[in-house]
Amino acid sequence: MSQSAHALWATALGALQLEVTRHNFETWLKHTVGLSFEDGRLTVGVPSSFVAENLEKRMAPLIAKTVKGIANGEIEIVYQVHQSQHADQDPVAAPAPISADGPRPRRTSRSPATGSQLSPRYTFETFVVGKSNRFAHAAAMAVADSPGTRFNPLVIHAGVGLGKTHLLHAIGHAAQAKGLHFLYASAEQFTNDFITALRENTLEVFRTKYRSIDLLLLDDIQFIAGKEHSRESFFHTFNDLHTASKQIVITTDTRPKLLPLLEERFTSRLEGGLRADIQPPDLETRVAILQKKAEAAQIKLSPEVIEFLAQRIVRNVRDLEGALNRILAMGGLANRPIDLDLAQQAVADLPTSPAQNRRSSPSQLLDAVCYYFDLPMDDLTGKSRKKGIALARQIAAYLLREDTPHSLADIGAFLGGRGHTTALRAHDKIAYHLALDSNLRRQVDEIRNLVDSDQHRTA
C-alpha cells in the first residue's frame, strides 16, 4: 500500500508542478512523499508541521481536485511530519529534468571559498541546445571560459521554465572546476541575507560575502525590483565587482529595461553588458529534450509518444518535463507500458499555452479590441498616433503575441504593415505596464473575455 501511495502522490505532484508557481512548488510540495493509501485516505509525508499547515490552508482545494482526478474518486488527504531517507531526490517518480528552469533541486556541490551550492544536474553537458537558446548558451560558454574579460555583465532573460537557471548553474560548475571564488544566489536569498545583516548588525559580513569573489551568479533579479534597500545594496555590490573586473551573470524573466521599479542608472548598467534571451523551444528542440531525458533515465519512449508530447506541450521546457514526469508516474501507478494511449490520458487535463487554450484568431482579437475601444478597424491599423488609438494598437500587439502563435513580423502586418520592431516595442510596453497598472490589467482581461464569449457564440 505504501508503494501505491508513493506512485499516487508522485503522479499528483507531476500535475501540481504545472499548476502552481515554481516558488510555491519548491517551498510547499517538492519535499513531500506519499506514505500510505488505505480506505480512501492518502497520508502524505511532509518535512514539517509548518508545511502541513500551509498545504491545508493554501492548497487544499487544488490538491483535492488533482488527487480526485487521478484516483477517480473522493480521497481524504492527511499530512504527517516525515523525514524522507531520500530527501535530496526529486519527489516526482521520474528522472530529474534535463534543461528546465523548474523547481530547483537541493544543491549539493560546494565552493570551498564561498559555500555556494549548485545542482549537479545543471551542467553544459546536459543542456539541450536548439535555435531558441543557442545564443544564450554560446554567451554562457564564453563567460565560463574567460570570466571577467568579455560580456560583463551577462544578462540572461527568459520566461519560466526555459533554462536560464540551468545555464547559471553550468557557469558555476565551470568556475568551480577552475578553482575560482564564486557565489550563486537567488535574488530572494540576496534580499534575505541583506535583511538578516541589517537585523543582526553584520553588514560587513554581508559585504564580504558578496564582494570578495571572482564571479557572482544572481538568479531572478526581478524579485529585487521594488525593494528599495536591497536594490541599493545590490547596486553598490554590482559597481564594486564590475570596477574590479569581476564577472557578473544575472537572470531575469524580462528585458532589464522593462523591469518595474528599477532605476535608470541600474538598468543602463545591465544593458551595458551582453543581453541574451531564450525563447520557447521549437518542435525539434522539444523532441531532442525528450529523447535526451529518456536516454538518461534508460527509458524507452516510442517516436509516437515523443512526437505527441512535443506537439502537445509547447509553452516551456518545465511544462514538457513535468508532463513526462506525470506519464512515467502514472505508468508506474497503473503498471502499464508507456504508450500513446497512456500519454494522451495522462496529459488530457494539463494546461497548454494561452494561445492553445484560447485558439484566438488575429481577426477575433482585432475585432474585440475595436469593439472594446469603439474604434473602426481603419483607425486601429492606420497611422493615427492619438493617445487612445495608440493604446488600443499596443494592446492589440500584446494580445496577438501572447494569445496567437504568429511571429512579430506577422503581427506588424496585421496592424497595418508595421515592422516587427514596432510590434515588439508595443508588446513590451504593455507587458511592462501590466505589472504596475491595475486598470490596464482589467482592460486586457475584459478584451480577452470578449474574444472568449465570441468563440462561445460561434462554437
DSSP states of 176-238? HHTT--EEEEEHHHHHHHHHHHHHHT-HHHHHHHHHSSSEEEEE-GGGTTT-HHHHHHHHHHH
DSSP string computed for 416-435: TS--HHHHHHHHHHHHHHHT
Can the peptide bond before residue 153 be classed as cis, meaning omega within 30 degrees of 0? yes
According to the model, what pLDDT value does residue 45 have? 92
CATH architecture of 356-458: Orthogonal Bundle (1.10)
The ranges of the chain annotated as CATH 3.30.300.180 are 2-81
2-81: CATH superfamily: DnaA, N-terminal domain (3.30.300.180)
Q: Give the ranges where 28-133 is alpha helix by DSSP (H).
A: 49-58, 60-71
Per-residue cell: 137: 548558451
Would you identify the CATH topology of the domain 283-352? Helicase, Ruva Protein; domain 3 (1.10.8)
The ranges of the chain annotated as CATH 1.10.1750.10 are 356-458
Sheet containing 76-81, strands listed edge to edge, beginning at the edge strand earlier in sequence = 33-38, 41-46, 76-81
According to the model, what pLDDT value does residue 23 have? 66
In a 10 Å sphere around its CB, with 0-12 CB exposed, 13-18 middle and 19+ buried, how is residue 214 labelled? buried
Alpha-carbon span 26 to 46, nearest angstrom: 13
Do the Cβ atoms of 249 and 218 come closer than 8 Å?
Answer: yes
Alpha-carbon span 400 to 320, nearest angstrom: 23
Sequence-separated (6 or more) residues with CB below 8 Å from residue 24: 59
Q: What is the domain class of 109-278 according to CATH?
A: alpha beta
In a 10 Å sphere around its CB, with 0-12 CB exposed, 13-18 middle and 19+ buried, how is residue 281 labelled? buried
According to the model, what pLDDT value does residue 19 have? 73
Element (H or E) spanning 275, and its range? strand 274-278
Per-residue cell: 189: 536569498
Q: What is the pLDDT along the chain (459 residues), one digit of tens a residue?
A: 455 788 788 888 877 877 777 667 877 888 898 898 888 889 999 988 888 888 888 888 889 888 887 777 788 999 998 865 443 333 333 333 333 333 333 333 333 334 347 888 789 998 989 888 999 999 999 999 989 888 888 999 887 778 898 999 999 999 988 888 899 988 888 888 888 888 888 988 888 888 888 899 988 887 776 677 777 788 888 888 888 889 999 998 776 666 655 566 777 777 778 888 888 788 888 888 888 887 776 778 888 888 888 888 877 787 787 778 778 777 776 778 888 888 888 777 665 544 444 457 899 899 999 999 999 999 999 999 899 999 999 999 999 988 888 888 889 999 999 998 899 889 888 887 876 677 888 888 889 878 876 543 443
Cα–Cα nearest to 181, from 150, 217, 145, 229: 217
The ranges of the chain annotated as CATH 3.40.50.300 are 109-278
In a 10 Å sphere around its CB, with 0-12 CB exposed, 13-18 middle and 19+ buried, how is residue 185 labelled? buried
Distance spanning both ends of the chain, measured CA to CA: 46
Cα–Cα nearest to 269, from 259, 280, 283, 277: 259
Per-residue cell: 136: 544564450
Report which DSSP code applies to 305.
H
- Whole-number Cα distances in Å, 413 to 149, 366, 368, 439: 42, 12, 18, 28
Alpha-carbon span 427 to 407, nearest angstrom: 12
The ranges of the chain annotated as CATH 1.10.8.60 are 283-352
According to the model, what pLDDT value does residue 231 have? 75
